[in-house]
Amino acid sequence: MGQAVNVNFRLDAEDKKNMEQVCTELGLSMSAAFTIFAKKVGREHRIPFDVSVDPFYSESNIKELKRRIESVRSGKSTLEEHDLIEVD
């Protein structure tokens, strides 16, 4: 193993808290978790998980959501409670 170096970066406080909780449950330090990630990236030459855009946040969907919100606010549409349907 080579010489250890410090790496500094900024992380959202809530993301850090959530990661610390998971690392604790796994018996890992955050440093160990990031080391595992770095070794896997170096070995495989790729991000070791899928990285994709959530289609919910697409421009067209956000536009549609805003249109529906405005429709409800203006009284053109109403919201009604309904039972959830389980899908297998």
- For the stretch 53-81, pLDDT in tens is 888 889 999 999 999 999 999 999 988 88
In a domain, 42, yes or no: yes
In a domain, 88, yes or no: no
SS3 at position 87:
coil
In a domain, 7, yes or no: no
Yes or no: say if 30 and 38 are a contact pair by the CB < 8 Å rule: no
Does the predicted TM-score (pTM) go above 0.85? Answer: no
Yes or no: say if 37 and 48 are a contact pair by the CB < 8 Å rule: yes
In a domain, 80, yes or no: no
In a domain, 83, yes or no: no
Could you give the CA distance from residue 1 to residue 35 in angstroms, rounded to a whole number? Answer: 12
Query: Positive or negative, the Cα torsion across 36, 23, 54, 8?
Result: negative
In a domain, 87, yes or no: no
In a domain, 85, yes or no: no
Domain that holds residue 43: 13-73
Could you give the CA distance from residue 13 to residue 19 in angstroms, rounded to a whole number? Answer: 10
Each residue's pLDDT tens digit, 16-67: 999 999 999 999 999 999 999 999 999 999 999 988 888 888 999 999 999 9
In a domain, 62, yes or no: yes
Q: How many domains does the chain have?
A: 1
